[in-house]
C-alpha cells in the first residue's frame, strides 16, 4: 500500500459557513473521513500548511508548497494538495516549473462546493486525486471532476460547474471511467529527466496586460517606471500589438530596451500564439518580443517569473 501525504492549503473544499460567506476551516484528516474508499486505497498522512481562500495566495505560497514537498519527498510515494479552485491552475503551473524531475505524482485538487455540503463534488475529486497520487505517473497534475490534467496545461473554465477545469492545447493525462483512471499513452511514458530538485527563486515584478481596443501604449511606461522586469501582453487572436493609428511598436521597443522581457500571449483559450502570421505579431517579434506559444496565461506567468530569477 502506497504512502501519500495530503497537504492542506484551504479553499472551498475545506470551507464552512462564516458570517460573511464560506471560510476555510477543515483539516485533512476530517476531510478524508468524509470520503469513502480512501482507507483501502493507500496509507494517508495529513499536513496543513495554509488555510486560505486561494484568491489570497501569492508566489511565496507556491514556494512554501514546493518546499513542503521537497522536505517530505523521500518519506512518501505521492502527494495530494487540496487547494481553492480560483487560483489552482496558477499553483499547478508554478509547481510544474519549480519542482523538476519528480518521479512521484504531485496532484492538486479542490471543489466547487464545500465537502460538508450536500451533493458536493469534493469527495469524488479527493478520491480521484488519491488514485492519481497512488499511481506510477510522475509529475505535477491537477485532478478535477473526471479529468487528470498536466499542471502546465490546466485552466479554470467554469466558476460553478463541477467540470471546472479543462486541459488546454493538450489531451488530458487521464480520464476517470468506471472507478479507474484510464491514462493516456503520454502519461504512461512520462519519466523524470534527471534528479529531483526544486528551484524556488521567482521574480515577482511581472504583470499581465490585457489588450483591449483603444488601450494606449502608455500603460507600458507605467510598468517600466514601477520597476517591472517582465510583461505578458495578452493580445487578440494570433498575438502581437497594434501598429496603426494606436501604434504600440515604439513603446514596445522602448520597453524592451529598458531591460523588460516582453512575452506576447493571446486572449484565445485554444491554438496558441503565432507571431509570424500578421504584421502586428512579426513586427513585435523583430523588436524582441517573445511568443507564449501554446502555453496558458497561468503557465506563461509562472514561467516568466521563474525565467527572470534563474
Determine which one of 9, 12, 200, 255 is catalytic.
12
Instruction: Count the residues in the chain.
Output: 310
Rounded to 10°, the helix 88-98/59-72 angle is 50
Q: Given its phi and psi angles, is residue 119 left (phi above 0), alpha (psi -120 to 50 degrees) or beta?
A: left
Question: Is 291 within 8 Å of 275 (Cβ atoms)?
Answer: yes
Residues 83, 307: Cα–Cα separation, whole Å: 25
- 12 catalytic residue (yes or no): yes
Q: How far is CA 195 from CA 103, 192, 198, 302, in A?
A: 9, 7, 10, 22
The three-state secondary structure class of 139 is strand
The torsion angles phi and psi of 24, rounded to 5 degrees, stand at -65, 135
213-231 as b/e: b if 16+ CB within 10 A: eeeebeebeebbeeebbbb
**Active site (catalytic) residues:** 12
Amino acid at each position: 500500500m502506497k504512502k501519500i501525504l495530503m497537504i492542506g492549503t484551504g479553499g472551498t473544499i475545506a470551507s464552512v459557513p462564516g458570517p460573511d460567506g464560506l471560510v476555510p476551516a477543515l483539516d485533512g484528516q476530517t476531510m478524508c473521513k468524509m470520503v469513502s474508499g480512501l482507507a483501502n486505497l493507500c496509507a494517508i498522512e495529513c499536513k496543513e500548511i495554509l488555510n486560505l481562500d486561494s484568491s489570497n495566495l501569492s508566489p511565496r505560497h507556491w514556494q512554501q508548497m514546493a518546499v513542503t514537498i521537497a522536505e517530505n519527498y523521500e518519506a512518501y510515494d505521492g502527494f495530494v494538495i487540496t487547494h481553492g479552485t480560483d487560483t489552482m491552475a496558477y499553483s499547478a503551473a508554478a509547481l510544474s516549473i519549480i519542482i523538476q524531475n519528480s518521479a512521484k505524482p504531485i496532484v492538486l485538487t479542490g471543489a466547487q462546493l464545500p465537502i460538508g455540503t450536500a451533493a458536493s463534488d469534493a469527495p469524488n475529486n479527493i478520491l480521484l486525486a488519491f488514485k492519481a497520487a497512488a499511481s506510477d505517473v510522475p509529475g505535477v497534475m491537477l485532478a478535477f471532476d473526471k479529468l487528470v490534467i498536466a499542471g502546465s496545461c490546466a485552466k479554470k473554465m467554469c466558476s460553478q460547474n463541477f467540470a471546472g477545469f479543462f486541459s488546454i492545447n493538450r489531451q488530458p493525462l487521464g480520464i476517470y471511467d468506471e472507478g479507474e483512471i484510464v491514462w493516456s499513452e503520454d502519461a504512461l511514458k512520462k519519466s523524470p529527466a534527471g534528479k529531483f530538485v526544486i528551484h524556488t527563486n521567482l521574480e515577482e515584478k511581472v504583470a499581465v496586460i490585457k489588450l483591449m481596443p483603444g488601450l494606449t501604449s502608455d500603460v507600458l511606461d507605467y510598468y517600466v517606471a514601477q520597476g517591472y522586469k517582465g510583461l505578458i501582453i495578452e493580445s487578440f487572436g494570433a498575438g502581437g500589438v497594434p501598429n496603426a493609428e494606436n501604434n504600440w511598436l515604439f513603446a514596445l521597443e522602448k520597453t524592451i530596451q529598458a531591460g523588460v522581457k516582453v512575452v506576447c500571449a493571446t486572449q484565445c483559450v485554444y491554438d496558441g500564439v503565432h507571431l509570424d502570421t500578421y504584421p502586428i505579431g512579426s513586427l513585435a517579434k523583430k523588436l524582441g518580443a517573445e511568443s507564449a506559444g501554446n502555453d496558458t496565461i497561468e503557465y506563461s506567468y509562472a514561467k516568466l517569473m521563474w525565467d527572470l530569477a534563474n
